[in-house]
A and B are shown apart, each in its own frame.
Chain A
Amino acid sequence: DAEITQSPRHKITETGRQVTLACHQTWNHNNMFWYRQDLGHGLRLIHYSYGVQDTNKGEVSDGYSVSRSNTEDLPLTLESAASSQTSVYFCASSGGDEQYFGPGTRLTVT
């Protein structure tokens, strides 16, 4: 069965370190998305991609970057982790309308 996976599931890092969260999907979807979810804010879009070599900024993109070198993967990099980036991160993919989400990565920045 097709799926979308994220790794690691939990991560603790220190302020200022670079962190990369992995997202891998086997749906063969062109569209992939990264969200963060925080209490009181719901899901907020960080970056998204409509295909290989395509990346776009979402509403909360500062301090984050993504790259898309193949259809299956969209890694999210925090260039210099800040305490404000402590959150739960979800990756999603879509072939058109509805999105399919990964299990999430809980990131704590100390």
Chain B
Amino acid sequence: NAGVTQTPKFQVLKTGQSMTLQCAQDMNHEYMSWYRQDPGMGLRLIHYSVGAGITDQGEVPNGYNVSRSTTEDFPLRLLSAAPSQTSVYFCASSYPLGQGGNTGELFFGEGSRLTVL
């Protein structure tokens, strides 16, 4: 029962490098999202997707790209890493609100700690 799987769990990058954080879920959730967590700022939404082929921007999308080619996968791409992107990143998924009685609660991955030097 894997749930939401994020890889890698830790990554160190140099400024200007690019990388992809992987996220996969096996619960057939339509909704997937990426958050970043910074001290004193809670979790802030980067990008989200309501289904395969559909993505949209959240609160802090600059410097990040996403795609959703399948229901299961939702990778987050850092195009040119900057020190300001040093953070802990969480992928989360859920059923649409109301579907099958669900209340839309988010199921989170274990997080990925990214350091940009």
Chain B associates with chain A: no
Interface residues of A, Cβ cutoff 8 Å to B: none
